[in-house]
Chain A
């Protein structure tokens, strides 16, 4: 199985800061990577698929990059409504696997 490792596990940043979350796959997965946002008490929401394609309706301050084993989710200007846990997910192979999550808080 492909293991997905996110870093950091949590972060605290100020409103307006640029925030970067990293996801590393245990083997190459091309661009078969998705990112999700889960706000406290809410269901997960798809942000990005194919490593860098923004899902319809997602604010443009979110962006994704990477291929192979190393991927990044960037929030260009952190907003209060971005407080959430973010997960990466591999879909190169079965089983589909998620990272452990990165909790983003406002400083």
Chain B
């Protein structure tokens, strides 16, 4: 099971940190990913992170602004989002896997608006 938290309304240029609590599997054995979905739109992969945190990948549109991290002792995944823009408004899903994604969390809504 994956449960996201931290979604909120934030002003453009602001910051937000999403968390994802994992349970029911050995978290430290899996790559993890963030995928987002803007309102009424399709799916967009955002970032992934290797089991030990030693490798991270990002979509170009968030490079330098977002940071993915994990705490295997706490079975938790994070997404630090800085310099947020209106186009970052979306439901952010935490998902197990670095290649394909299963399962997915319920999502956290991030709204960037003044």
Stretch at the interface among B5-13, B15-23, B39-47: B39-47
Q: How many residues of chain A are within 8 Å of chain B by beta carbon?
A: 22
Q: How many residues of chain B are within 8 Å of chain A by beta carbon?
A: 21
Instruction: Find out whether the CB atom of B45 lies under 8 angstroms from the CB atom of A98.
Output: yes
B59 within 8 A of A: yes
Given the complex of chains A and B, what is the CA–CA distance between A1 and B59 in angstroms?
A: 10
Which of the residues A46, A95, A96, A99 comes within 8 Å of B102, measured between beta carbons?
A: A46
B25 within 8 A of A: no
Stretch at the interface among A10-18, A20-28, A73-81, A86-94: A86-94
* Apart from A34-B99, A87-B43, 10 more pairs, CB < 8 Å: A32-B99, A36-B43, A43-B104, A43-B106, A44-B35, A45-B104, A95-B58, A96-B48, A100-B42, A101-B42
